[in-house]
Amino acid sequence: MYQVKVNIHGYYDEIVNEESTNYHKISLGTGFTTTEIGQPAMPTIPQLIALPTNRLCTSSISEDKWVDVTIGRIHPYQKPLLETEQSAKFVVNESVYNQDLYKTFLINRSDTSIWRDIRNIAFSICPFKYFPQTNKLSVLTEFVFTVRFSPQSDMPNSRIKQKNLSIFDNNFLVSNDVLSTDNTSYDYLIIVGDNSDLLGSQALKNFCKWKAIKGYKTKIVSIATTGASCSSIKKIIESEYNVNKSLSYVLFIGDDDRIPMYNKRSFQTSDILKSDYWYGCMDGDSDFQADIVVGRFSTNVVDELENMVNKTIVYESTDNQYAQYAQLIANKEYAPGKYQRCCEDIRTANYNTPITFIKTYGASTSNGGTNATNADIISRINEGVNIVNYRGHGDWDQWWNWNSQNQSFYNNDADLLRNTTYPVIFGIACTTADIRNHTCLLETFMKSKYGSAAYLGATVPSYTEANHTFDKILFKELLNNNIVNVGNLNLNAHIKNISERGDFTSKDNAFCYICGNDPALEIWTQRPQTFKNVTVSNQNDGIYINVDGVSDYMVSVVSKEGELRYKKTSMSNTITLSDYNTEDLIYLSKHNYIPFKIEIQNSNPNTIYIQNRVFNGSEIINGDKIEVGYDVTSSIPYGNVIINNGANLRLNSTSETIIKNGFECQKGATFIVE
């Protein structure tokens, strides 16, 4: 059973004038209301409830206390508008306002959805009764919402490979055996466009090794073998997911001409949504809760891929003194309302992990803005900032007409950046991520050696109010629920937005937003710390690691080829690795910590490793055991061993000398093993 007690101590009441009539726009601070056009917009409370395996559910409310309030006309819900649209006509259904009682639901429930095999239902509670003729509003100020679960024997068992279930409002327990790690499976699928240069690039190898260090096991496929159509690409994702429920991330490497966005039809209109989100939906054409997080490096050029990979690795591996700073950029339109109000709602909200917000508002100071210009955007990013949040109008190559000087921030403005701290950008606007047929603003930020480490944006015109709530949910999920991977943040925010708004606009928006980066990129929320006082002991039964003052960290064991062998999470500050090869790389990681490489002292301290060296003179090396080669130890940078012409190298070992790959003795050199 799920049960929550709710107390409503008040509500927001904004008086707005429409066609010479005052209306009361009431809310509970979220903006979620009933959605019948022309009828009173009554505030609602959303609840997204996961169903335990083999369970159905019923819901009820105990109506403990109603309070009557005198009020005028409640503002009617209006047709939702795209960012590109202006309101044409104010709609009011007078027949409804002529009723004694406006009847609406107390509890509304959606159809059952499925997310990663978890069945779930979105409930909406409307704790209000409205009496238009007497200008009375009744508020259910105290109540208990209850969901009871009953068994359903013929329902299939769920196969759940997902620990993060904070997307739901109820605590959803998954047994340990279901969550156990299967080290033969993988969680990160990389799909490369039909481009042999990208497929064989060092940048891709470096990226896969970095993902291994961060605890992800990758698999690479090329559309040259899978097929380049949307259906064939979706089919390979579905087939991989059906046999491997650990699969959580898909990364496309390629522009739209190599890996096409899917043309998804709007849930209500005839509009086409250019979509990557669709590829992550595993439960049929009507599915809107993506099971897999999809990201994209939108490039067909190796140099640009190198920039994207480098910025990803630099972001996650180096100190960031600006990790607690977020820049809020607000379009001037209707300030201090609309876009500026959205940013102010984000800035003034309470968070479990507080950060510092920097206002870059395009409106004049008389309208609450900061008279910000393009130069302010550039200087702040160049100086350093962790998150850039733009809320306003956009087009494929610009943040459009955003300030009081009528400036737009174009691609060529982004080209002026010279930053070395790479932000995550939330481009909450229309069309800035339209990668089809041209270089869009997302690609300009991502392809450069400067710019951003991540960019989240829409491919087509998106809906204004749904964008407002989506933007606010992004920060709540990041700073309250610790959803720190960019792709997961995007997905969670969309699913919550859909369940809370309950209309087609949030669904359409979900399908048109793309994550133009590594979907697993981990956002800093505090200045990253370093692992200190790490002690390592190499015993006969394994490697013992102790980290003073730090627990719940992850250990990644990576092969010399750069592939994740396995990972473990510590329950305390100590962990033991019983499965370890001398050539393995071992890394520690934890959110808001810089990954740390463990150096293992070999059990035989007299073993001499010769790696990444060039001999030009005469040298004698003595040891109990000597190993020579390109990658005989992880404690020295990899590299060949070369004895140049005229040089002399003598190796004296008391037990054995091992020569591996990566050794070269040039003609005219002397090499002696004794």
Domains annotated on the chain, with CATH? 2-154+162-172 (2.60.40.3800), 320-515 (3.40.50.1460), 534-598 (2.60.40), 607-673 (no CATH)
Q: What is the pLDDT of residues 292-323, one digit of tens each?
A: 999 999 999 999 999 999 999 999 999 999 99
- How much is the pLDDT for 179? 36
- How much is the pLDDT for 604? 52
Q: Is the pLDDT of residue 175 over 60?
A: no
- How much is the pLDDT for 153? 52
- How much is the pLDDT for 634? 67
Radius of gyration of the chain (CA): 29
- How much is the pLDDT for 180? 37
Q: Is the pLDDT of residue 594 over 70?
A: yes
Does residue 666 or residue 156 have the better pLDDT?
A: 666
Segment 4-25 shows an average pLDDT of 95
The region of weakest confidence among 180-189, 379-388, 442-451, 565-574 is 180-189
The region of weakest confidence among 69-73, 261-265, 391-395, 651-655 is 651-655
**CA distances (Å), 573 to each of 246, 553, 569, 592, in order?**
27, 8, 10, 16
Instruction: Give per-residue burial for 608-625: e unless 16+ CB within 10 Å, then b.
Output: bbbbbeebeeeeeeebeb
- How much is the pLDDT for 461? 98
Q: Is the pLDDT of residue 669 over 60?
A: yes
Q: What angle do CA 301, 303, 308 make, to 5 degrees?
A: 95
Which of 154-163, 181-190, 562-571 shows the highest mean pLDDT? 562-571
- How much is the pLDDT for 181? 45
Q: What is the pLDDT of residues 506-551, one digit of tens each?
A: 999 999 999 999 999 999 999 999 998 898 887 777 888 999 899 9
Distance, CA of 444 to chain centre: 20
- How much is the pLDDT for 183? 53
Query: Sign of torsion, CA 373 376 377 378?
Result: positive
What pLDDT band is residue 635 in, cutting at 50, 70 and 90? low
Q: What is the pLDDT of residues 474-489, one digit of tens each?
A: 999 999 999 999 999 9
- How much is the pLDDT for 622? 82
- How much is the pLDDT for 603? 47
Q: What is the pLDDT of residues 421-464, one digit of tens each?
A: 999 999 999 999 999 989 999 999 999 999 999 999 999 999 99
Q: Is the pLDDT of residue 184 over 90?
A: no
pTM comes to 0.86
What CA–CA distance (Å, rounded) separates 671 from 157?
65
Name which of 281, 235, 279 is nearest 254 in CA terms. Answer: 279
Q: What is the DSSP string of 434-452?
A: --SSS--HHHHHHHSSSS-
- How much is the pLDDT for 178? 37
What CA–CA distance (Å, rounded) separates 575 from 543?
8
What CA–CA distance (Å, rounded) separates 426 from 430?
12
The 3-class SS string of 483-545 reads CCEHHHHHHHHHHHHHHHHCCHHHHHHHHHEEECCCCCCECCCCCCECCCCEEEEEECCEEEE
- How much is the pLDDT for 176? 39
What CA–CA distance (Å, rounded) separates 52 from 174?
9
Q: Is the pLDDT of residue 162 over 60?
A: no
- How much is the pLDDT for 72? 94
Percentage of the chain lying above the pLDDT 90 cut: 81
Sequence-distant (6+) residues with CB within 8 A of 316 are 210, 214, 521, 522, 595
What pLDDT band is residue 639 in, cutting at 50, 70 and 90? confident
Q: Is the pLDDT of residue 601 over 70?
A: no
- How much is the pLDDT for 602? 55
Q: What angle do CA 258, 260, 262 make, to 5 degrees?
A: 170
**Extended beta strands in 71-112, E state:** 107-109
- How much is the pLDDT for 159? 47
